[in-house]
Amino acid sequence: MNNIELQTSDSPEAEDVKFLYQQLAIFNQAQAGLASVRELAVFARRDTEIVAGLYGFTHWNWFHIRYLWVAEALRHQGLGRQLMLAAEREARIRGCDHAHVDTFSFQAAPFYERLGYVVFGRLEDYPAGHARIFLEKRNLPA
């Protein structure tokens, strides 16, 4: 490890991050096959205004929900559930068998649990006084 210099950055070069990702992708593909990552988004609009949305991606046979948001005035009316079911249907069409999501204890864990998601991990004090909760749903409906 002679002449190796460690560099720490809070704004790395985009090319460096891309290189890192590509190297991991090459290794992962050799182990698990072609990844075929595809974005998946579902938006609810009133006229041109986004009032709710879901964003994630499909990767191998899994669907990962990255963001889910519903305008406060429209919460608890079934719109979030509609977004989730539409996204799960599309994920199933793409060949996904399962889904996963993470949320915080002050967000939507009970919402996901009502949709059949099960907690498989927690990070306590993330952020301080709260928890980050990881949930999965096996065997998405056809």
Confirm whether pTM is higher than 0.85.
yes
Q: What is the pLDDT along the chain (142 residues), one digit of tens a residue?
A: 789 999 999 999 999 999 999 999 999 999 999 888 999 999 999 999 999 999 999 999 999 999 999 999 999 999 999 999 999 999 999 999 999 999 999 999 999 999 999 999 999 999 999 999 999 999 999 8
Domains of the chain: 36-137 (3.40.630.30)
pLDDT of 40 reads: 98
pLDDT of 19 reads: 98
Sheet holding 98-104, edge to edge: 38-46, 49-59, 62-70, 98-104, 131-137, 118-124
pLDDT of 73 reads: 98
pLDDT digits (tens, 9 = 90+) for 44-76: 999 999 999 999 999 999 999 999 999 999 999
Tokens 């056809």 correspond to 142
The burial class, CB within 10 Å (0-12 / 13-18 / 19+), for 119 is middle
The burial class, CB within 10 Å (0-12 / 13-18 / 19+), for 18 is exposed
Q: What is the DSSP letter of 10?
A: S
